[in-house]
Amino acid sequence: MKNSRLIAVLLLLCLLSPLAAQGQAESGQQKEIELRWASIWVGNDSKAPAVEALVKEFNTKNAGKIKVVIEPQPDYNAYEQKVRTSLAAGQAPADIFTIKFNPTTATFYQSDLLMDFQGKLDDAWKSTFDAGSLEQSTVDGMLKSLPMETAILPIWYNMDALKSVGVNTIPATVQQMYDTFDKLKAAGIAPTSQMTGDTNAWTSMIWFSHFAVSLGGPNVWDKPFTDPAFVEAAKLIKKMIQEYSTADAVGLGAGGSGGHFLAGRTAVFSNGPWYAGRADLAATPFFDSIKIGGLPAVGEYEDIMISRLQANICAASSKDAAKEQAIVSFLKFLTSPSSIAKIAETSGAMFAIKTDYRPVNNLQKQFYDVNAAASTTAFDLEAALGSEVTLEFAQQLGALALDRISAEEFCALVDRKIEH
């Protein structure tokens, strides 16, 4: 028995010795801090090449001290799930990660796992950010995510299609808009790409946001959803889906909605600047004719552009001061105007960090011009009211478009999902 115990102890030692050796090796190389970045800007994403180059540049500059390792997250939905479940399980998804900031994800601010940048943001660093975006990202005095990518959500016009029916400019008035749409319809082209599918009825949600903000002003989202501005906006979006869209709009997803525009089946579309970098868009015969603009004001508020914080960057809090410092160093580098200019140059994306960069690509340039021309910006429905309200909006939009419920009922149903 004694012999067998001795053998067992020896076997255990043999098994554990490599682990001990590993521990020694790691403690001997404690100088370099490794930061894991769960990045969505990988693979086919238009920001991927610039981001990868920047990480390489940072790692070279900080060789032996800090090393940033990108953990690719190519599937955005799976990535969002990872962030949610990791935080719920009491773990940060990575040292650095991004979120789409809205009232739902603002819940993450309650977690101690996230670093509060409020104390880290010195005046010089703070001055590089757009003040409005910083304010929008602050919850109860905490700044647990830094605004990085922003987006405006304008309307896209295929001018080749419009010109084919004798319209040479973007409609400036509501009457011109309806006249243009009627002409397109008569020519067999579905005027707009509407949809009620997915969890946010994306393109129609953008149209609805334009209508609501024009009718109720930039602070319309603070009002109850039963407000006349929303009821009127609901009537308008219903008209768009019923009369001026494709027959499959009810139940259609974003892929289908975009597909109709790319195939030339619809003439007017809505999406953010990231769509401008798509290869299939560049391959369309009407690519050079695309004009970006707003919708004619349907209410008393004019020239308001719909916008959102597309990606806010978060970091894991750490008891290790050196690690926190390393994270701040990297984020300062990543959000510096020169780094942001490099990412913007290759992707055409828009950022909450002020840079001198101005795109040369015609389509990307239009986004900057439209943004600059807007008197002010206002959030879209999802950015303003969160994912649960947007889901209800999407689900009930189908019922509204099919005349199952009235505009008033639609607004009341969406309103019950808002936490007043």
Alpha-carbon gap, residue 153 to 206, rounded angstroms: 7
404 touches another protein by CB under 8 A: yes
Q: How far apart are CA 297 and CA 295, in angstroms?
A: 6
**Which CB sits closer to another protein, 84 or 223?**
84
Region near another protein per CB under 8 A, out of 141-149, 169-177, 194-202, 350-358: 194-202
Do the beta carbons of residue 270 and residue 153 sit within 8 Å?
A: yes
DSSP state of 9: H
- Binding of residue 104 to another protein (CB under 8 A): yes
Residue 402 as a binder of another protein (CB under 8 A): the answer is: yes
Select 15 or 124, whichever has its Cβ closest to another protein. Answer: 15
Residues near 146 by Cβ (< 8 Å), separated by ≥ 6?
A: 117, 129, 137, 312, 313, 314, 331, 335
Looking at 46-54, 202-210, 227-235, 397-405, which segment touches another protein (CB under 8 A)?
397-405
Nearer to another protein, 221 or 410 (CB): 410
C-beta closer to another protein: residue 87 or 153 = 87
Q: Which of 399, 407, 412, 418 binds another protein (CB under 8 A)?
A: 399
Site for another protein contains 394 (CB under 8 A): yes
Site membership for another protein, residue 198 (CB under 8 A): yes
Nearest to 246 by CA among 316, 318, 183, 192: 192
CA 363 to chain centroid, in Å, comes to 19
Task: Provide the minimum distance between the beta carbon of 381 and another protein in the complex, in angstroms, as a whole number.
Answer: 15
User: d(Cα 363, Cα 47) in Å, to the nearest integer?
Assistant: 17
**Near another protein in 329-348, by CB under 8 A:** none
Of the residues 68, 205, 236, 250, which one makes contact with another protein according to CB under 8 A: 250
> Which three-class secondary structure state does DSSP give residue 130?
coil
CB of 104 to another protein, least distance (A): 6
- Count, residues near another protein per rule CB under 8 A: 34
Nearer to another protein by Cβ, of 301 and 379: the residue is 379
Q: Do 213 and 229 form a contact (C-beta atoms < 8 A)?
A: no
Minimum gap (Å) between residue 29 Cβ and another protein? 33
Of 246, 257, 266, 364, which one interacts with another protein (CB under 8 A)?
246
List of long-range contacts for 158-166, beta carbons under 8 Å, 24+ apart: 158/261, 158/264, 158/266, 158/267, 158/268, 158/269, 158/286, 158/289, 158/290, 159/286, 159/289, 159/290, 159/291, 160/285, 160/286, 160/289, 161/189, 161/264, 161/267, 161/286, 162/267, 163/289, 164/189, 165/189
In b/e form, how buried is each residue of 90-104, taking b as 16+ CB within 10 angstroms? eebbbbbbbbbbbbb
Q: Is 199 in the site for another protein (CB under 8 A)?
A: yes
Q: Does 395 bind another protein (CB under 8 A)?
A: yes
108 scored as a contact of another protein (CB under 8 A): yes
Q: Where are the beta strands (DSSP E) in 256-330?
A: 266-270, 290-293, 304-315
> Which region among 115-123, 186-194, 349-357, 381-389 touches another protein (by CB under 8 A)?
381-389
Bridge pairing between strands 190-192 and 266-270: parallel
Taken as a whole, the chain contains a residue count of 420
Using rule CB under 8 A, residue 160 touches another protein: no
Q: Is 91 in the site for another protein (CB under 8 A)?
A: no
* 116 touches another protein (CB under 8 A): no
128 binds another protein (CB under 8 A): no
Cα distance between residue 77 and residue 84, in whole Å: 11
Is the CB of 204 or the CB of 347 nearer to another protein?
204
**Site for another protein contains 111 (CB under 8 A):** yes
- Give least dist CB 230 to another protein, A: 18
* Separation of alpha carbons 300 and 145, rounded Å: 35
Measured between alpha carbons, how far is 300 from 174 in angstroms, rounded to an integer? 12
Tokens of 388: 């649960």
Asked if 254 interacts with another protein (CB under 8 A), we say: no
Q: Is 78 in the site for another protein (CB under 8 A)?
A: no
Q: Give 341 or 402: the residue with its C-beta nearer to another protein.
A: 402
- Name 86's Cβ contacts closer than 8 Å, sequence gap at least 6: 92, 93
Task: State the DSSP H helix or E strand holding residue 155, giving kind and residue range, or none if neither.
Answer: strand 155-158
Q: Which of 248, 415 has the CB closer to another protein? A: 248
- As measured in angstroms, the least distance from the Cβ of 186 to another protein is 20
Least distance (Å) from another protein to the CB of residue 370?
31
Question: Using CB under 8 A as the criterion, which residues of the chain lie in contact with another protein when the complex forms?
Answer: 84-85, 87-88, 104, 107-108, 110-111, 196-199, 246-253, 386-388, 391, 394-399, 402, 404-405
